[in-house]
Amino acid sequence: MFFAETYEPPAWETARKQGLISKTLLKASRNYPDKVRLYNFWLQIQHIYKDKIEGDFAELGVYKGESARLLHLMAPDRCLHLFDTFGGFTETDLRSETGSAATYTTRNFADTSVNGVLKHIGGNSDRIKIHSGYFPESATGLENSAYALVNLDVDLYNPTSAGLQYFYSRLTPGGVIFIHDYNSKWEGLVKAVDEFVLTIPEQLVFVPDMDSSVMIIKCK
């Protein structure tokens, strides 16, 4: 199911046959294990282009750049802001976690680097902006930026809550926020999302990918 060519969404299949998907993206798509997540990224980006939704792209929680590479390959003309400590989690953020996140230490996700991420993503480096450090302090100077797409993949309560608070207010109407790992293993993350959704007019859109992502599509 996840690897058969017939699992392609019709829009992707048509674009592929018309030569509208780059060879690099096609190769990356074959190697990426979560096909539902990959195709959902692509379909939402097509919607952003079709509806002329303005704004940069951003990812909070980059690790080694797997999903960031996909986003850049799918929209190489958009400025992509990448936010990460590039040194793992902080003790402060881990202290209150329960569930699977309670097993994490500051060593988890620390085996990465800015140079390694940039090398892995490749593409047009002029359109990739790295913001290393603790978020949202690492976003200093970007307060007036607008975003069409944001990918949150940070596992914990504090950074998820901070990411939603920061990016939603800067999200262009019609833009989308993805939140990865919305499932029972990540209790703090689910709590942060549920609390935030109570404060906005939108409802969560559930995605049946391998780790139960959810989306917020901002009302126009």
pTM value is 0.95
Helical (H) or strand (E) element with 206: strand 205-206
Residue 142 contacts by C-beta under 8 Å, 6 or more apart in sequence? 81, 131
Give the model confidence (pLDDT) of 110-168 as tens digits.
999 999 999 999 988 899 999 999 999 999 999 999 999 999 999 999 999 999 999 99
Give how far Cα 220 sits from Cα of 143, 171, 201, Å. 21, 11, 11
Kindly report the number of other CB atoms within 10 A of residue 14's CB atom.
12
State whether the Cα torsion 46-81-138-34 is positive or negative: positive
Q: Where are the domains of the chain?
A: 55-217
- Distance, in Å, from the CA atom of 8 to the CA atom of 35, rounded to the nearest integer, reads 9
Q: What integer pLDDT is reported at residue 7 of this predicted model?
A: 79
E-assigned strands of 28-95?
56-60, 80-84
pLDDT tens profile 4-51: 555 799 999 999 999 999 999 999 999 999 999 999 999 999 999 999
Which burial class, exposed, middle or buried, applies to 160 when counting CB atoms under 10 A from its CB (0-12, 13-18, 19+)? buried
CATH fold of 55-217 reads Rossmann fold (3.40.50)
Q: Give residue-wise pLDDT tens across range 2-12.
A: 555 557 999 99
